[in-house]
A and B are shown apart, each in its own frame.
Chain A
Amino acid sequence: MSHRRRGVLIAGALAAVTCQIVVTYVPGPPQPLIGTITQSLVGLSFLAAGIAAWVRWPASRLGLLFTITGYLWLLPNLGHLPYALPFTIGNLAAPLYEAALAHLALAWPTGRLRSRFEVGVVVANYTWNIGQSFISMFFWNPQTNCGPSCPANLLMIHGSQAAENALGVISIPVGLALTVTVLALIVRHWQTARGWTRRAMVPLLWIAPAICALSAVQTVAQNTSLPLFTSTTAGNILYGYLPLILLAGPALFVAGTLLARTARGAVGTAIVDLEPGAPPGQLRDTLARALGDSTLQLAFREPDGSGYLDTAGRPVDPDRPEPGRIVTPLPGRDGAAPADTVLVHDGGLEHEPQLVRLTAAAASMALEHARLQAEVQAQLEQVRASRARIVEAGDAARRRIERDLHDGAQQRLVTLALALGMARSQVAGSDPDLAALLEGATKEAREAIAELRELARGIHPAVLTETGLPGAIQALVERSPVATTVSAVPACRFPAPIEATAYFVVSEALANVAKHAPAATAQVAVRQSAERIVVEITDDGPGGARPDSGSGLRGLADRVASVGGALQIDSAIGGGTRLRAEIPCQ
């Protein structure tokens, strides 16, 4: 809002207040106190709401409408001045605020009328109120009502009580018809509204009928001379107390503001509560709930750039939104246009750009968070997969080396030992020196074979590849220098990395027992549940093993983690050691 406009508004309000004070204190026809208070309270609160609405919703006409209603409400006070001109103007303007109120209600909450018909209704309302007031003034002689002290009615052509009465008879149905039309339109607005607008319409649904009822009763009271309405008490109630209902008008503005403020808080809270990496559908639902706009759509540009789809898979055209919908692009990562993601929301939110910006920023942040999380997740998956591949490649290399040793060096050594054995049996008896030499050579060859066998075994046990876990673990236990028992090992085969991991867990654990607690006994148990195998090695040694002591256990933990498993070590001092590996076997 420009400074000039603000200046005009404030000056107008000051003028109205001054006018009100003058009207109250200038001597004239006596006024009931309650009437004065109500007049001032209602009028000034509309003016205040008008200024506030103008400040808050500068693009909307609501501020203007509130202000106009406030002025039109206060204008009739001129009728209390003891001079002919203000008296005439004041009385002429008496019913005008009703048209302004109807205008405000029909324009709520955007400040715009929705159709030509409604423009017609509003124009008809203003026209009827002014016209009826003019015609009525033509025939009204103030002296007949308020006595000779009243100023003159400058518009009076011919004072006629009969004409006034006739006009009253017409006024009642026309006024009622206009009121009912306005009410019906308001109800229809509420019915067709969705999302934010519908919520903003709710308070109006309560206020409008009350004000219409008041207006109807006042119309009837003015245009008929029923004894019920002629007493002072009735006057005080009708014009003093009941019009306090009109304070609900400015309350509408307050409600609208509160709605936005609540929504702002809710959006902030919702985004904090939103679980990280929630899918876009969930994000939309959360934002829609927090914002109070059930129609909120979160639409993403399709990868081929052909269009936008919302989270429910419906196509969205950001350039041509449906009537009453507004498109807000989300702040992009690189400010690229067109935006990758847009919010499509109810038109009622257009006067809350801050709220929309906040929502867009929250959505953008949540999506960015989800994207980063997905990226990290993908990277983690890649790292996991590559770690598994590295371990698998290592296993494959070990298997290959073992096979090469078996097919190459070991076979050759066996062939050599065979040849030496045959040579020895040929020279036996004939050349004792040569026989002894050959004997020594055979022994060397046999030891080389035995050493190579243990080496190859250590690199990769052929029995694991050939028969699986039971034979391989049995072999470990038979070779262990520690008294070890095995409980059932599942006989079925598992993928090679799983078997190798389980095998190395047992192997490393038994080696540790042999190293740190040679006098202990150990138990090896391998159990299989639906999705995992649990390898457990317990000993009754001194305990006190720490996962971070030495690279053996840490390497083992890495190895188990490479297939998505977990290694757990319980080793209280004096309580033995339990090594437990859970390995997914799918």
Chain B
Amino acid sequence: MKNRVRELREKREWSQGELGERLAVSRQTVNAIETGKYDPSLPLAFKIGKLFGQRIEALFEFDEETR
């Protein structure tokens, strides 16, 4: 799944650790989400969306090739 988490985080000048703290996940989990190696659960995706003031569809894009 492609996502805009890194772009939005960098826009706010947050480190991965800072974002992790806000989402109550580890820095490594943030990194795995940003690099597309891990697709977050629905509650976590909603939490990310709420934090950045975005709808989930605007944040995550389903990528058929990576399935």
The answer to whether A and B come from one shared complex is no
